[in-house]
Amino acid sequence: MKIHADLNQRAVVHSEQLDWVDSPLPGVQRRMLERDGAESGRASTIVRYAPDSYFRSHVHAGGEEFIVLDGVFSDQYGDFGPGMYVRNPVGSEHRPHSKDGTTIFVKLWQMDPDDQEYVRIDTNKAKWLPGPAEGLSVMPLHERGPEHVALVKWAPGTEFTRHAHPGGEEILVLDGVFEDEHGRYPKGTWIRNPAGSVHTPFSTEGCTIFVKTGHLYPAVGD
């Protein structure tokens, strides 16, 4: 299965317009944003757990990164409510479930095997820092080499300068409306701008986005 699998191509998905697709396990459904493989391989997905649903215990051979959008996600290591950002490195194992139901944005098979840091950040409590322009606030979540992960809050009417992303950029709009010269992106929109892309972002209404940069450098030979 291939969905937006070419990392050299820009992709925009309005996830809230997608149908929920049943996973192999009862009570777990998905909205697939990008995918390179069936049940193994690179994937970025919105996943919904019905109340009292369980996923089998499994190893993350390519690592796992997620942010809880609503409800409470649980595994043997704890309970993670809305706004929790979690990284489980390559080789980690867990058995996820949800007592009352949850929705998460999850990325699989996209980690450096040498990055063995477990990350647990409650973004409701973490500190916002001044951003690179007036009206921008940044909450760093993870950094390793060229890869940077953060939440970015845009005050209404904020504009940023035109700039390039040598290592690409990926965005999930968590609330409000994010914009650039290519379009308008409401809550739930997933955007992948490839390595070398250029844009001039702004937000008329204000928004909060989950953003990753520097992780989409093309492989040697591309």
Q: Are strands 169-180 and 158-159 parallel, antiparallel or unpaired?
A: unpaired
Question: What is the token pair recorded at 149?
Answer: 């992960």
- pTM, rounded to two decimals: 0.95
pLDDT per residue over 134-170, tens digit each? 999 999 999 999 999 999 999 999 999 999 999 999 9
Q: Which domains does the chain have, with CATH numbers?
A: 2-9+18-122 (2.60.120.10), 129-213 (2.60.120.10)
Question: What is the token pair recorded at 131?
Answer: 């951003």
Determine phi and psi for 153, rounding to 5 degrees: -105, 130
pLDDT per residue over 51-62, tens digit each? 999 888 889 999
